[in-house]
């Protein structure tokens, strides 16, 4: 998700908003919500959450088949992000002509005129991970119907998890996971969201996926899922990244419902002078049952926690009540 918000402090109170429940959201169809991407829907005057929807509750699916063959789900919030209800599936023409194409990790941005989705597309349903994956660009006027698919030419035939941000000079930059290079984070640039030039590796000090990039407190920040919580990187120019020390965000288990495991694949939403980290958990992957592969280990829940900034460092406390107060963004073209 990317919201283009004018950089200003509007006096939003630090304790405003409703307390978000734990979990924040569970999908009522497959119970496999993951990889959240949150954006304001001005037509409905609601917040929308796009998410990967894995088939956690479908029995007798071998290997990782349950992670494939899924549409992109949509949840909706009418109260500034505290309460979410299932809305339906995004209507996507991915261009593959494969009835069982898999859709993962939607990234949705607004350019001032139209909405753009950067979607990971896998050509079918498979029992293992060893298959091609492509990032496809789509457009929409209403956030529900997506068309005009174009596959991006990037660094390899196995690329996933796009994150897109517009730099101050107008350049659009896309970060993604190149699975062929130890799951390092690569990037590409575009003047128009359509024509992309791959620029190579951005972050390679550790493997990771699900990058999200945003600008806050006069710095660029990248957060990535490193399977031990969420790593944080900081940059002055969106090119050279320094890893934050002192541990990863939501690495240590929390105490709330469905939050007693590490968090993964984040989104970050800035609203006025505050920021919230959305992430997902596999609640059943803990204790003696961690390595089992049943419904409890496959199901996933979306959670949210407010980010805090102090002295150049980002932190969060998932055990503190999270008051969330997302407000309609001020958008620049």
DSSP 101-170: -EEEEEEEEE-SSSEEEEEEEESS--SSS-S-BEEEEEEESSSSEEEEEEE---SSSBEEEEEEEE-TTS
Mean pLDDT by 10 residues, the chain (333 residues): 44 80 98 98 98 98 96 97 98 93 98 97 97 98 98 98 97 98 98 98 98 98 98 98 97 98 98 97 95 97 98 98 95 50
CB within 8 Å of 309: residues ≥ 6 apart: 216, 217, 275
Per-residue model confidence (pLDDT) at position 329: 87
Per-residue model confidence (pLDDT) at position 157: 97
Q: Is 215 helix (H, G, I), strand (E, B) or coil?
A: strand
Q: Which of 317, 327, 305, 315 is nearest to 22 (CA)?
A: 305
Give the domains, in start order, of the chain with CATH numbers.
Answer: 18-324 (2.115.10.20)
Q: Is 173 helix (H, G, I), strand (E, B) or coil?
A: strand
Residue 325 and residue 16 in contact, taking contact as beta carbons nearer than 8 Å? yes
């Amino acid at each position: 998700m990317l919201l283009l918000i004018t950089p200003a402090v509007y006096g939003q109170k630090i304790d405003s908003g409703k307390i978000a429940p734990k979990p924040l959201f569970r999908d009522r169809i497959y119970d496999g919500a993951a990889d959240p991407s949150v954006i304001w829907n001005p037509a409905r005057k609601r917040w929308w959450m796009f998410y990967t929807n894995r088939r956690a509750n479908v029995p007798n699916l071998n290997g990782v088949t349950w992670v494939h063959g899924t549409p992109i789900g949509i949840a909706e919030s009418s109260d500034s992000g505290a309460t979410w209800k299932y809305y339906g599936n995004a209507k996507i023409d991915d261009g593959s002509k494969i009835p069982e194409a898999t859709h993962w990790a939607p990234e949705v941005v607004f350019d001032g005129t139209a909405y753009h989705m950067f979607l990971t597309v896998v050509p079918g349903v498979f029992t293992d991970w060893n298959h091609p994956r492509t990032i496809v660009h789509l457009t929409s006027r209403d956030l529900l119907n997506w068309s005009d698919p174009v596959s991006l030419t990037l660094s390899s035939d196995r690329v996933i998890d796009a994150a897109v941000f517009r730099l101050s000079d107008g350049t659009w930059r896309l970060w993604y996971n190149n699975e062929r290079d130890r799951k390092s984070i690569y990037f590409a640039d575009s003047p128009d969201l359509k024509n992309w030039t791959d620029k190579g590796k951005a972050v390679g000090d550790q493997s990771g996926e699900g990058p999200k990039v945003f600008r806050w407190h006069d710095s660029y920040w990248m957060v990535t899922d490193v399977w031990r919580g969420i790593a944080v990187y900081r940059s002055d120019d969106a090119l050279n990244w320094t890893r934050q020390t002192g541990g990863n965000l939501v690495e240590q288990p929390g105490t709330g419902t469905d939050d007693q495991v590490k968090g993964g694949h984040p989104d970050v939403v800035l609203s006025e002078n505050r920021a919230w980290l959305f992430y997902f958990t596999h609640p059943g992957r803990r204790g003696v049952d961690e390595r089992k592969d049943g419904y409890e280990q496959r199901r996933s829940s979306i959670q949210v926690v407010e980010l805090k900034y102090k002295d150049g460092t980002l932190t969060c406390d998932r055990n503190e009540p999270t008051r969330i107060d997302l407000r309609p963004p001020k958008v620049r073209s």
